[in-house]
Chain A
Amino acid sequence: MKIEILGVGCPKCKALTANVEKAVKELGIEAEIVKVTEISKITDYGVMITPALVINGEVKSAGKVLNVEEIKGFFK
């Protein structure tokens, strides 16, 4: 599974990354977590407000720091 976190490096993006890492660890999923910081790539996903969460190329959420439980919901 490929998880991408879109964001230009603000504190919110870091918070989301930390939550994603925690969720993945707790569920024991094999996943590659990638940070996307290039604005043109973020725009290509159609994301306007960061941080955004992309799982296997599909935008799951934008503009919100999801908590660990919400992130786990996407893996079920």
Chain B
Amino acid sequence: MDLQIYKYTKVINMKEWKKFLIILAVFLGCFWMPIEKARFTNAIFESLALVKWYAREHVLLCLVPAFFIAGAISVFVNQASVIKYFGAKTNKILSYGVASISGAILAVCSCTVLPLFSGIYKRGAGLGPAIAFLYSGPAINVLAIIMTARILGWQLGLARAIGAILFSIIIGLLMHFIFLKEERKRHENGEFPSEEKKETRSLIKNMIYFFSMVAILVFANWAKPQIENIGLWFLIFRYKWTITGFFLIFLILIIIRWFKKTELKEWALTTWAFAKQILPLLFAGIIVAGFLLGRPGKEGLIPSKFVETLVGGNSFFANFFASVVGAFMYFATLTEVPILQGLIGSGMGKGPALALLLSGPALSLPSMLVIRSILGTKKTIIYVSLVIIMSTITGILFGWWIK
């Protein structure tokens, strides 16, 4: 009994100490806050300017439709229909293929990635497909691809998606062959039955529905052509609001005719849940990125020279450094985008940027610890090393190609 009380007071003391240290740190920060320094005040200005730019340019036309699409995927796409491809007796090629692309459907919520990874590894198709899913999932989720393409340019968005798919298969296969002996011994005990959900709409109807949503997103964000005002690209730009409006009306008609009220409510609630989950994190990410790195072409707290020396150009070191930092750092959903925007604006090369995009969202120190609890230390270290090596190589190739 005494021991219990002793333990209890100890816990309380720890908490109080922690609070005290936090208050002390904040106080010291305020005490010596360098508001006289131009660099510091400028960084605050940059931070707010970046937030304003995002609010004006990206929230209404890009983020809001993207949330609706992500919500629709998680409500209306039958996730169980994908899972059957991860069973132990499924054709291995099929397993790898589905694992590498299914993140687009399954990884819209962080709830799905780790349990599914653990399930595929322990009861289903095995280490290779599990790793392929784990790696590609976070990188090809729809929200991440849309934001990357919109803010960092379509080349990086596309390279990110393709890179993630290809390398997830390669890393999965490498892991499989490195641990081939263990894989053979592992008892395979799982067919994953798919619960057949009764579809309320035909596949065609669902596809038209998703297509019109994507069309709204694409045409509302159609960029002004940079070179000359002729050709199809410009024609579409000129009438983009007419086209967007057409698809919007079309979508509203679809919703009225083909959907039940309860379904729409679920869709709205899921979309709202995504927005609630992601917006605060993204907001914080933009504030921090703007404060430290400034808008493109401007400087925040960190001098551009510093960024340029570390990750400028396309050297081996720049790519390797970006991969390692990306692998260990934790990026909350989508925050990698403003951070990379700041880094690129400060002189980071496109190659290292891709390297960071490929190693960053897939891995972080906290996720490594969870993965370690499933795979064990040895496999985790090899997996992390493979991700870093692959990201470095891809970064170098991309940087070399885009020049």
Q: A-side interface residues toward B, CB under 8 Å?
A: 6-8, 10-13, 15, 39-40, 42-43, 46-51, 63
Contact = CB atoms under 8 A, between A and B. Distances in A.
A48 B83 contact: yes
17 contacts: A8-B115, A10-B111, A11-B277, A12-B109, A13-B111, A39-B115, A42-B115, A42-B118, A43-B115, A43-B123, A48-B83, A48-B86, A48-B115, A48-B119, A49-B79, A49-B80, A49-B112
B91 interface: no
A8 B374 contact: no
Contacts of B118: 39-40, 42-43
Given A11-B277, A12-B273, A63-B79, A47 B115 contact: yes
A39 B373 contact: yes
A12 B111 contact: yes
Contact of B114 (A13, A39, A63): A39
Contacts of A13: 111
Contact of B119 (A7, A15, A46, A51): A46
Contacts of A48: 83, 86, 112, 115-116, 119-120, 192
Contacts, number: 62
A73 to B, nearest CB: 15
A13 B111 CA distance: 8
Interface of B: 79-80, 83, 86, 106, 109-112, 114-116, 118-120, 122-123, 190, 192, 273, 276-277, 370, 373-374
Nearest to B189: A46
A67 to B, nearest CB: 9
Contacts of A15: 273
Contacts of A63: 79-80, 112
- Most chain B CB atoms below 10 A, which of A10, A15, A39, A42: A39
Contacts of A50: 111-112, 115
Nearest to A12: B111
B276 A11 contact: yes
A50 B116 CA distance: 9
Given A39-B373, A40-B374, A43-B122, A11 B115 contact: no
7 nearest A-B pairs in the assembled complex, by CB-CB distance: A10-B111, A48-B119, A43-B118, A39-B118, A50-B111, A48-B116, A50-B115
**Majority SS at the chain B contact face:** helix
A43 B86 CA distance: 14
Contacts of B273: 11-12, 15
Nearest to B192: A48
A6 B119 CA distance: 13
B111 A8 contact: yes
Nearest to B106: A49
A10 B79 CA distance: 18
- Most chain A CB atoms below 10 A, which of B86, B110, B277: B110
Contacts of B114: 8, 39
A49 B115 contact: yes
B43 to A, nearest CB: 32
A50 B110 CA distance: 10
A51 to B, nearest CB: 7
Contacts of A11: 273, 276-277
Contacts of B277: 11
B122 to A, nearest CB: 5
A67 B190 CA distance: 30
A62 B119 CA distance: 13
A39 B123 contact: no
B119 A43 contact: yes
Contacts of A49: 79-80, 83, 106, 111-112, 115-116
B1 to A, nearest CB: 25
Contacts of A42: 115, 118
A49 B116 CA distance: 6
A12 B115 CA distance: 14
A19 to B, nearest CB: 12
Nearest to B121: A43
- Most chain B CB atoms below 10 A, which of A39, A40, A46, A48: A48
A64 B116 CA distance: 14
A38 to B, nearest CB: 8
A10 B109 contact: yes
A13 to B, nearest CB: 6
A74 to B, nearest CB: 16
B198 to A, nearest CB: 14
